[in-house]
Amino acid sequence: MKNVGIIGWRGMVGSVLLDRMKTEGDFKKITPHFYSTSQAGQKGPSIDGVDYTLLDANSIESLKEMDIIISCQGGDYTKQVHPQLRQSNWNGYWIDAASSLRMNEDAVIILDPVNRNVIDQAIEKGIKDFVGGNCTVSLMLMGVGSLFNENLVEWMTSMTYQAASGGGARHMKELLTQMQVIGNNAAHMMDGDILKLDAAMSKLLSSHEINTDCFGAPLALNLIPWIDSALENGQTREEWKAFSETNKILGRQENPIPIDGTCVRVGALRSHSQALTIKLNKSVEIKTIEEMIQSSSEWVEVVENTPEATREKLCPRYVSGSLKTVVGRIRKMNLGDEYLNIFTSGDQLLWGAAEPLRRMLNILL
């Protein structure tokens, strides 16, 4: 059986990956080895009755023994270790959740329900680096990829509502701690004057009582329209990924579709949502659009454009922990017959991160 090294297994993406691999019986097909950058020698996970001891994720000698490596550790780790491994003539497959390698010419962005043909061609060509896409990009394509594949999209904007867990385990805890402090402070004021309560909460958000080490600003009772680093053109790197990665996944680098928008961190705990404005290149009936989206994969669920269905299903609460991508609020806009309004939600830790990685492992196996 192939030796598979798993790095970053105790982080947010890694934990979800392990969970999915256990559920799908993936560990029965491989000999797993678990690595850590900070806990080498300590106890790792227990899988199928076997207790694993953690190996050193910075040891090139140890990593070189692997046939396949899956890293959910993060971009800095990939930047540091991947080149050293390749320079040491390691010829195994590297599967990664981080963005560092995504735009490399000899790396493929993996989302097999949408681009299995691109993946198969890459394996055939001897490509060895396979990288999961940006979470909002992957979820957008799981929802409305069929419209791109049918060549119906002239351009698109995407306004995102991204959950705290997109930043990782520590970010989730920071949001929950902020909520706890807010709850404790509000509890004794709930029967009093609403303006006093409001003023107290505003003051609290600007005080040192609210820890903002991870997000750099309070997220509870607030939102942050900035994710990742700044680019010279005024975009954030997260916003830049929508254009560059979507077109790379679709194999359209030579003939890219314009995509842009604003990425916003909101106080959802898990699962990202986005509001899409799609300019179609011709008028298409809403019923046809809905059928196209619904039939694109077994994981898509079209949500009726009603208040009841929307409140029930078109939200992080409904999709969190499931492979479902919900697509709703599908309607023509006042802007014209070729302008489509769509809202979509999906679990960014599953299709947006862990699921394409474990599916890539299975494709290679």
Residue number of the CB closest to ligand NAP reads 11
| Catalytic one of 82, 171, 272, 315 | 272
For the chain, what is the radius of gyration of the CA atoms? 22
With binding defined as CB under 6 A, does residue 352 bind ligand NAP?
yes
**Residue 343, amino acid:** F
CB of 272 to ligand NAP, least distance (A): 8
Does 135 bind ligand NAP (CB under 6 A)? Our answer is yes
Is there binding between residue 166 and ligand NAP (CB under 6 A)?
Answer: yes
From the list 86-94, 162-170, 192-200, 282-290, the region that binds ligand NAP by CB under 6 A is 162-170
**Nearest CA-CA partner of 59 in 41, 45, 32, 47:** 41
Residue placing its CB nearer to ligand NAP in the complex, 189 or 264: 264
Picking from 24, 237, 192, 51, the residue whose alpha carbon sits closest to that of residue 245 is: 237
Say whether 171 is catalytic. Answer: no
Please tell me whether residue 170 binds ligand NAP under the rule CB under 6 A: yes
**188 belongs to the catalytic site:** no
**Beta bridge pairs of residue 29:** none
Residues paired with residue 166 on neighbouring β-strands, in sequence order: none
38 binds ligand NAP, rule: CB under 6 A: yes
Residue 41's identity, in one-letter code, is: G
DSSP state of 256: P
Q: Does 98 bind ligand NAP (CB under 6 A)?
A: yes
Question: Which range in 22-30, 229-237, 260-268, 344-352 contacts ligand NAP by CB under 6 A?
Answer: 344-352
Task: Extract the tokens encoding 278.
Answer: 């799609």
List 135, 171, 263, 315, catalytic entry: 135
Are residues 273 and 344 in contact, defined by beta-carbon separation less than 8 angstroms? Answer: yes
Site string for ligand NAP, 49-88 (x = CB under 6 A): --------x--------------xxxx-------------
Edge-to-edge strand ranges of the sheet holding 336-346 = 259-262, 153-161, 272-280, 336-346, 325-333, 300-302
Closest separation between CB of residue 167 and ligand NAP, Å?
7
14 lies in the site for ligand NAP, by CB under 6 A? yes
Assess 8 for contact with ligand NAP (CB under 6 A): yes
Looking at residue 161, its amino acid is: Y
129 is written with which tokens? 């680096």
**Shortest gap between Cβ of 171 and ligand NAP (angstroms)?**
8
Query: Under rule CB under 6 A, how many of the chain's residues touch ligand NAP?
Result: 27
Picking from 270, 65, 89, 311, the residue whose alpha carbon sits closest to that of residue 163 is 270
CB of 180 vs ligand NAP, minimal distance in Å: 17
Residues 6+ apart with CB under 8 A from 12: 165, 168, 169, 172, 349
Rounded distance between C-alpha atoms, residue 84 and residue 185, angstroms: 51
Q: Which residues are catalytic?
A: 135, 272
Residue ranges binding ligand NAP (CB under 6 A): 8, 10-14, 36-39, 57, 72-75, 97-98, 135, 165-166, 168-170, 348-349, 352-353
